[in-house]
Amino acid sequence: MAAKTLIIDGKAVSAEEGATVLQVARDNNVAIPTLCHLEGVYDVGACRLCLVEVAGSTKLQPACTTKISEGMNIQTNSDRLRKYRRLTLELLFAERNHVCAVCVSNGHCELQTLAYSLGLDHVRYDYVFPKWKVDVTHRLFGMDHNRCILCTRCVRVCWHIEGAGTKNVAGRGATARIISDLDQPWGDSESCTECGKCVMACPTGALFHKGATAGEMEHDRDKLEFIVNAREKQQWLP
């Protein structure tokens, strides 16, 4: 494939045609924050954390779904981007009920880590305090919608790594939610193989192993990486 040359944060880089801005940035040690991106599944640009500035365009572009092109000039960390990233995180916190202190993922949460990494010391918007249910009907796993950021990682790993297609999104806007099968209790799902990939993929404490208490839930992301590596590179590395 043809190589493309472009500029990221003032530095000239080259990469193969078809790569995304996020891939090229990471290959060149430029850190762009992400939440919905997950190695091994396709990108959807859901979380808007990876927005970057592309010279010549007034619109901000998600790095994870924007393909590189010749001569592109990209800014990944301007004041404007930092402002929008913080705003996006604040809206995520305000939209559902994220109570870090009592969350199973306290200390192992990507939302929490991103918040402090990006200097979020408080949320300027009024909290919505919506009423959401917790589905603990499954034998092994639970789903707490209060902590869900709708990144859809669970949906993508369920469909495209496990191939079960249990997890889906229902509803629109702020009332959108992750469902199992045809919006049934997870425990009643006939398609769920109990593989746990959704739990491994979840960036927050929304999906968890039953029995985990505050701070105990770690997502075993390396198991998912192992599977993806085996599929994509035929390397069965421990």
Partner 1 sequence: MKLRVATVWLGGCSGCHMSFLDMDEFLIELAGLIDLVYSPVIDVKEFPEAVDVCLIEGAVCNEDNLEILRKIRERTKVLVSFGDCAVTGNVPAMRNPFGPDNRENVLQRAYVENARNNPGVPKADGIVPRLLEQVVPVHEAVYVEYYLPGCPPPAARIKEVLVQIINGQAPLLTGPQLKFG
Tell which one of 65, 77, 88, 106 touches partner 1 (CB under 8 A).
Answer: 106
User: Is the CB of 18 or the CB of 119 nearer to partner 1?
Assistant: 119
Q: Which of 80, 63, 65 is nearest to 28 (CA)?
A: 63
Task: Determine, following the binding rule CB under 8 A, whether residue 42 of this chain makes contact with partner 1.
Answer: no
Residue placing its CB nearer to partner 1 in the complex, 51 or 89? 89
**What is the β-pairing status of strands 51-54 and 167-170?**
unpaired
Q: Which of 41, 115, 198, 207 binds partner 1 (CB under 8 A)?
A: 115
Specify burial of residue 12 (Cβ count, 10 A radius: 0-12, 13-18, 19+).
exposed
Q: Of the candidates 107, 165, 171, 211, which one interacts with partner 1 according to CB under 8 A?
A: 107
Show contacts with partner 1 in window 210-229 (CB under 8 A): 215
Dist CA 111 CA 150 (whole Å):
12
Q: Is 120 in the site for partner 1 (CB under 8 A)?
A: yes
- Going by their DSSP bridges, the two strands 73-75 and 3-8 should be labelled as parallel
Structure tokens, 163: 């191939």
Size of the site for partner 1 (CB under 8 A): 26
> What's the rounded Cα separation, in Å, for the pair 235 and 18?
24
Considering only 117, 160, 174, 211, the residue that binds partner 1 (CB under 8 A) is 117
Q: Measured between alpha carbons, how far is 66 from 22 in angstroms, rounded to an integer?
A: 8
Please, which residue, 128 or 230, has the CB nearer to partner 1? 128
CB of 92 to partner 1, least distance (A): 13
Stretch that binds partner 1, among 16-24, 43-51, 59-67, 99-107 (CB under 8 A): 99-107
- Residues 142-201 binding partner 1 (CB under 8 A) are 146
Q: Distance (Å, rounded) from C-alpha 165 to C-alpha 154?
A: 10
Q: What does the alpha-carbon distance between residue 1 and residue 52 come to, in Å, rounded to a whole number?
A: 25
Closest CA to 83 of 56, 126, 120: 120
CB closer to partner 1, 116 vs 236: 116
Question: Which positions touch partner 1 (CB under 8 A)?
Answer: 93, 97, 99-103, 106-107, 112, 115-117, 119-123, 126-127, 129-132, 146, 215
